[in-house]
Structure 1
Amino acid sequence: MPHYTTFVTLLAVAFYFFLATRVAVAHGKFGIQLPATTGNPDFERIYRAHVNTLEWMPTFLVPLWLCAIYLNDVAAAVLGLVWIVGRALYFAGYSKAVEKRLPGFFIQSTACFLLFIGAAVGTFIHWANT
């Protein structure tokens, strides 16, 4: 059982929860009454960064675990940490301006791509050896 990837998964979920708290704070700060999710561009960027992270979670978590199980737990965990850092940079940048989200986006999408490659290679090796 992958041990390091377990901690990275919990960290990713904790990070997502943190982003949810930022949206809750932004509702009050920018006067956006629930259930509204529009009305102030500063709020909308924070909200979109949060929702976009949710949209990426399956694309991240599935290859993370396949890579950890079939290839290497440490490599998967390190790439998982890179993904979290990329998402944090994405959130910090997007909260300020739309165009500032791109460095974090490229970091996290590259980590996901590498996890996918690792998952595919590990799965193929496992399949070939059975």
Structure 2
Amino acid sequence: MYHFTAFVTLLAIAFYLFVTVNVSRARARTGIKVPATSGHPDFERAFRIQANTLEWMPIVLPSLWLFAVYISDAVAAAIGAVWVIGRIVYFMGYSKAAAKRGPGFAIQAFAAIALWVGALGAVLLRLAK
């Protein structure tokens, strides 16, 4: 069973739900009405945090699960947890200023690439056998 990976998947989804709710709260706080996606820097940053998280999830979640299946549940979950932590750091930095998003982006990108490269390598090794 893949209990650790399942837990990290649920953490990633919970974080995405959090940033989605944050966009709604930013809309209310700044007066940006649907369907507008611009008009106030605080709202625009909240919107981009949510959108960027969504952009990375189709890369991370399948890679996370393939890594767990082909390599290790615990290692996949640990790297996936680093991705979630990176997203939190990204959220905290970007919420203050766009220029402060770099460290969190780097952490989560490193974790995502590690998951994808690990999964790809493991699949290729299995195909070669």
Superposition TM-score tier, normalisation by shorter sequence: over 0.9
Name 1:29's counterpart in structure 2: 29
- Alignment-derived partner of residue 54 in structure 1: 54
Code of the aligned partner of 2:104? G
- C-alpha distance 128-3 of structure 1, shift in aligned 2 (>3 A): farther
Give deviations 1:23-77, integer Å, cap 9, x for gaps.
1110011111112111001110111011110000011111111100001111100
**Which segments of 5 or more consecutive residues in structure 2 lack a partner in the other structure?**
none
Alpha-carbon contact 1:22-1:46 (below 8 Å) kept: yes
Q: Which residue of 2 aligns with 1:95?
A: 95
How many pairs are equivalent?
129
Are 2:79 and 1:106 equivalent residues in the alignment?
no
Segments of 5+ residues of structure 1 without an aligned counterpart are none
Question: What value does the CA root-mean-square deviation take over the aligned residues?
Answer: 1.0
Q: Percent identity?
A: 52
Q: Is the 8 A contact 1:71 1:123 kept in 2?
A: no
Alpha-carbon contact 1:71-1:121 (below 8 Å) kept: no
Quote how far apart the aligned CAs of 1:124 are: 2.4
Q: 2: distance between equivalents of 1:80 and 1:51?
A: 19
TM-score, length of structure 2 as denominator length: 0.95
After the TM superposition, which parts of structure 1 deviate over 6 Å for at least 4 consecutive aligned residues? none
The 3-state SS of whatever aligns with 1:116 is helix
Structure 1 segment 1-130 matched on structure 2, within 5 A: 1-129=1-129
